[in-house]
Amino acid sequence: MNKLVLKGFLLFGFCAFAQNAVSEKDFKSVEQKVIDWRRDFHQYPELSNREFKTAEKIAKHLKSLGIEVQTGVAKTGVVGVLKGNTPGKVVALRADIDALPVTERNDLSFKSEVVGEFQGEEVGVMHACGHDTHIAILMGVAEILSKNKDKIKGTVKFIFQPAEEGPPPGEEGGAALMIKEGALKNPDVDAIFGLHINSGTPVGTIGYKPGGTMAAVERFVVNVKGKQTHGSQPWGGVDPIYIAAKIIDGYQSIISRESNLLVEPAVITVGKITAGVRFNIIPESAEMIGTVRTLDPDMKALIIRRMTEMTEGLAKTYGGAATIEFQNNTAITYNDEKLTEAMLPTLQKTAGVENVVLIKATTGGEDFSFFQEKVPGFYFFLGGMTPGNTEAFPHHTPDFKIDDSGMLLGVKTLTAMSLDYLNKK
């Protein structure tokens, strides 16, 4: 690109951004509200598919802004529709709203003391992944955009999604159920944006990656059948625990010897084994439960095929039998390359070029991916760690913390992305 063309491109981009710009005064007017909302949601968290009060608070706020609101989507989800002053495309913004069965362990003034029930057990409940910040950020964006309808060419759809962490056993939920119940329809969504706060990166920074960004997550269950016998006479039976060990060892060879890890990383983890009742009895059966994480569709197909073959084949080799069942939890969180490229200048304009960082993929999963299977989507990471901190507590842990000051950049970024996308010719 020659200097004249580049200069023209930058000038055109600046003009477009200037036309879409929201005043700093508007953003400052919602900053404390966003912090207060976040702290309220943090203090009173609710588990997946049980986010009743959370949904009520969201719906009440959206209605107060004059936004068309639909409740009860995918059980407790809330969808808001804001039409601009002129017709155009439809962009969706998504925030997840559920908390985790984690007992909070810190000294925050708004620490959760909530106790709930998870799989029949009494548990502490905590926003240990930052979904409270996502809700508050999107509520702030809704308020900003509702005051700037004259700048919206088209429609903004606000999707507050329950059960991102997974619905309770035996229930449907999450992004898949929201799609099934029409969250991307009426009006039909053209593109969708989402973010995730990150406790390990400093406030003021944004991380992004085109293409595969977060992993497809498969939960698997292996049932091994053997033949029970006395522990002193293993030759009198078939040991399912021994077979299970061979299968686990075999799985790792799929990663280390059959998967091209130069394409993308992949992980197979067995997280639970259940077998036997006594030290001196070789049991009749064993069960293994685990997860597969992949970032490339072809690698995913290879790994699942080889796990199936290996499960059945190794069990037979050692005199037993085994089956494996997979349950898809998330697809690959795949950032549409063209949409990512189009939005990168917006990220850089909002956060500063030096604060927008190209990152590597992560093997964590995110059901935002199901939206991306239906429409082009872009998902990015927002810094939430206090600058200068040397220790960041990981997500899904009792000590997890987020710096409130990081949320305003999230509000600004999603606002700018919405306007720039809708007003782009």
Same domain, 380 and 248: no
Q: The domain spanning residue 234 has which CATH number?
A: 3.30.70.360
Note whether residue 411 is domain-resident. Answer: yes
Same domain, 71 and 196: yes
Q: Which alpha helices (H) appear in 78-153, and where do they start and end?
A: 131-146
Contacts of 221 (CB under 8 A, 6+ apart): 287, 288, 289, 324, 325, 327
Give the model confidence (pLDDT) of 229-250 as tens digits: 999 999 999 999 999 999 999 9
Q: Which two tokens stand for residue 388?
A: 């200068």
Residue 254 and residue 17: Cα distance in Å, rounded? 49
pLDDT attached to residue 25: 94
Same domain, 55 and 98: yes
Catalytic residue among 96, 132, 164, 366: 164
Note whether residue 346 is domain-resident. Answer: no
Same domain, 204 and 63: yes
> Is there a binding annotation on residue 61?
no
Give the β-pairing of 285-294 and 266-275: antiparallel
* Start-to-end C-alpha separation, the chain: 21
Contacts of 291 (CB under 8 A, 6+ apart): 217, 218, 219, 220, 267, 268, 269, 271
| Cα 238–Cα 241–Cα 245 angle in degrees, nearest 5 | 120
Same domain, 310 and 400: no
Same domain, 201 and 153: yes
pLDDT at 19 over 90: no
CB 322 within 8 A of CB 315: yes
Residue with tokens 């960041």: 392
The average pLDDT across 386-402 equals: 92
Q: Among the three residues 330, 346, 381, which one is the final residue of a domain in this structure?
A: 330
Give the model confidence (pLDDT) of 274-295 as tens digits: 999 999 999 999 999 999 999 9
Is 36 a catalytic site residue? no
Same domain, 246 and 391: no
pLDDT at 12 over 70: no
Contacts of 346 (CB under 8 A, 6+ apart): 17, 413, 416, 417, 420
pLDDT attached to residue 388: 86
pLDDT attached to residue 17: 53
Same domain, 190 and 221: no
Note whether residue 99 is domain-resident. Answer: yes
Contacts of 325 (CB under 8 A, 6+ apart): 220, 221
Give the model confidence (pLDDT) of 20-52 as tens digits: 689 999 999 999 999 999 999 999 999 999 999
> Is there a binding annotation on residue 131?
yes
Same domain, 225 and 272: yes
Give the model confidence (pLDDT) of 188-243 as tens digits: 999 999 999 999 999 999 999 999 999 999 999 999 999 999 999 999 999 999 99
14: Cα separation from own chain's centroid: 32
Q: Is 390 helix (H, G, I), strand (E, B) or coil?
A: coil
Domain of residue 160: give its range.
20-209+359-423
Question: Which of 17-21, 171-175, 379-383 is predicted least confidently?
Answer: 17-21
Same domain, 289 and 363: no
This prediction has a pTM of 0.91
Note whether residue 338 is domain-resident. Answer: no
Note whether residue 347 is domain-resident. Answer: no
The average pLDDT across 6-25 equals: 59
- For residue 405, the 8-state DSSP code is G
pLDDT attached to residue 278: 97
pLDDT attached to residue 4: 38
Same domain, 235 and 203: no
Question: Which of 19-28, 200-209, 396-405, 412-421 is predicted least confidently?
Answer: 19-28
Q: Residue 187: is the preceding peptide bond cis (ω within 30°)?
A: yes
CB 195 within 8 A of CB 414: yes
Give the model confidence (pLDDT) of 95-140 as tens digits: 999 999 999 999 999 999 999 999 899 999 999 999 999 999 999 9
Give the model confidence (pLDDT) of 67-93 as tens digits: 999 999 999 999 999 999 999 999 999
Note whether residue 230 is domain-resident. Answer: yes
CB 368 within 8 A of CB 159: no
Q: Among the three residues 330, 345, 379, which one is the final residue of a domain in this structure?
A: 330
pLDDT attached to residue 387: 87
Residue with tokens 């037979």: 316
> Is there a binding annotation on residue 129?
yes
Is 98 a catalytic site residue? yes
Catalytic residue among 98, 264, 404, 420: 98
Q: Among the three residues 282, 315, 330, which one is the final residue of a domain in this structure?
A: 330
Note whether residue 344 is domain-resident. Answer: no
pLDDT attached to residue 14: 44
Question: Between these two residues, 217 and 13, which has the higher pLDDT value?
Answer: 217
Residue 204 and residue 2: Cα distance in Å, rounded? 32
Q: Which two tokens stand for residue 33?
A: 């509200």
Note whether residue 156 is domain-resident. Answer: yes
Give the model confidence (pLDDT) of 342-353 as tens digits: 999 999 999 999
Residue 11 pLDDT class (50, 70, 90 cuts): very low
Same domain, 60 and 124: yes
Domain count, the chain: 2
Q: The domain spanning residue 400 has which CATH number?
A: 3.40.630.10
Give the model confidence (pLDDT) of 335-375 as tens digits: 999 999 999 999 999 999 999 999 999 999 999 999 999 99
